[in-house]
Amino acid sequence: MLAMNSEYQCRLGGQTLCAAAIYLADVSFLLAAASRPTVFWLSSRAGSPLPNSCCSSVMQRSETQGLASFDGRVEQILLRRAADAEARCRRIMEGKRQAITERQLQLQSQVTAAEEALRREKEAALELQTEVSLERWELQQSAGG
């Protein structure tokens, strides 16, 4: 069964037949007719509305040209290819997501270590400042006293 979609235009040779197509993605597909060595060219045509008589026009033309025996094998092949491509994309995206998560954890541990080192340096600087202030106070007390 062909799915109707107003975003596609079906062509046979150079002649426009109808804007009916199988919607899998917004890309061009090549379909071979089962009974004849005829190739359909489906091209994306977003924004062009279809006439109401489009479906009947395709069926009439396909019957007269011996294309009515379309049994859905091409659709199954295209759906399987689309599912395989989607699965590949999902695997790639999952791999990249895992790599990003690992990198994020690595960077977070580096940030945590750097924050801890900064905290220790700050404490050491505060202790040194306290010692310097105490020595100055003692020098002022001994000089003034």
Q: What pLDDT does residue 71 have?
A: 76
| CB distance 82 to 23 below 8 Å | no
Residue 45 is classified by DSSP as -
Band the pLDDT of 112: cuts 50, 70, 90. very high
The per-residue pLDDT for 83 is 97
49-68 pLDDT tens trace: 444 444 455 545 555 555 44
pLDDT at 61: 54
| Arithmetic mean of pLDDT, 124-133 | 97
pTM of the model: 0.41
pLDDT at 32 over 50: no
Beta bridge partners of 144: none
28 in Cβ contact with 45 (< 8 Å): no
Question: What are the residue boundaries of the structural domains of the chain, listed by start?
Answer: 1-71, 72-145
Asked if residues 21 and 8 have their Cβ atoms less than 8 Å apart, the reply is yes
pLDDT > 80? residue 102: yes
Structure tokens at 88: 């590949």
Do the Cβ atoms of 72 and 38 come closer than 8 Å?
no
Residues near 49 by beta carbon (within 8 Å), at least 6 away in sequence = 6
Give me the amino acid identity at 35: S
